[in-house]
Amino acid sequence: MPGILGRKIGMTRLIQDDGRVIPLTVIECTPNTIVQVKTTEKNGYPALVLGFDALKKPTKNRKFRYLREFAIPEAEAINFKIGDAVNVDLFGDADEVQITSISKGKGFQGVVRRWHFRGGPGSHGSHAHREPGSIGARARPGHVHKGKKMAGRMGNDRKTIDTQIVYRDAEKNLIGLRGPVAGGKDSLIIIRKS
């Protein structure tokens, strides 16, 4: 099994016997359900579709709030059946994992906050305190280059990091990951084996 879906609970810390403090992000991974097993013959590639967060009022076509697909080797596809549960026993202690989540959205922001521009003079008649300044030349090239750092929407991006499992509680379906994980409380976290 390549991974599992979970929900971010928050952050805490783990104090070691020697006094070291490890920052910890706690993820709740209630058992995921295998919704579909994709094979090369039917779908062109082998994969598993996991369902997470069962709906209170499921419909005919929708039973889970989140569905995500995980690629698997061709030989492993026969080991899984629709309806099987996937839980945190999949991982061991100190496993290296890859985390994917959506960062917090911060709305439309100026260049000082978004790109850490220094800004203009703060006094003596300056009218350009937090403005970006010039954005291009004149006749040549006659347009603003793509990718120019300007004001715009900030956050709400898909972030992927490599981290390590430092805590695991199979009874409570909890996983503790070293360091921070992008996203707000209750956001969806995708955990894959590295």
pTM: 0.87
How far, in Å, are 59, 104, 117, 152 from residue 110 at the CA level?
A: 43, 17, 9, 7
Residue 78 and residue 110 share a domain: no
Q: What is the CATH number of the domain that holds 59?
A: 3.30.160
Residue 128 lies in a domain: no
Q: SS3 of 145, please?
A: coil
Residue 137 lies in a domain: no
Residue 75 and residue 163 share a domain: no
Structure tokens at 9: 């609970």
Residues 110-148: pLDDT tens digits? Answer: 999 999 999 999 999 999 999 999 999 889 889 999 999
Residues 49-80: pLDDT tens digits? Answer: 999 999 999 999 999 999 999 999 988 878 88
pLDDT at 1 (0 to 100): 65
What's the rounded Cα separation, in Å, for the pair 182 and 184?
A: 7
Residue 108 and residue 22 share a domain: yes
pLDDT at 91 (0 to 100): 87
Count structural domains, the chain.
2
Residue 24 lies in a domain: yes
pLDDT interval class at 98 (50, 70, 90): very high
Residue 144 lies in a domain: no
pLDDT at 90 (0 to 100): 86
Structure tokens at 10: 């928050």
pLDDT at 65 (0 to 100): 95
Write the CB contacts of 67 (distance below 8 Å, at least 6 apart in sequence).
Answer: 35, 49, 50, 51, 52
Residue 79 and residue 41 share a domain: yes
Residues 166-185: pLDDT tens digits? Answer: 999 999 999 999 999 999 99
Residue percentage of the chain with pLDDT more than 70: 99
Residue 178 lies in a domain: yes
Residue 100 and residue 75 share a domain: no
Answer yes or no: are the C-beta atoms of 49 and 84 closer than 8 Å. no
What's the rounded Cα separation, in Å, for the pair 13 and 51?
A: 30
Domain boundary among 86, 112, 130: 86
What's the rounded Cα separation, in Å, for the pair 32 and 19?
A: 36
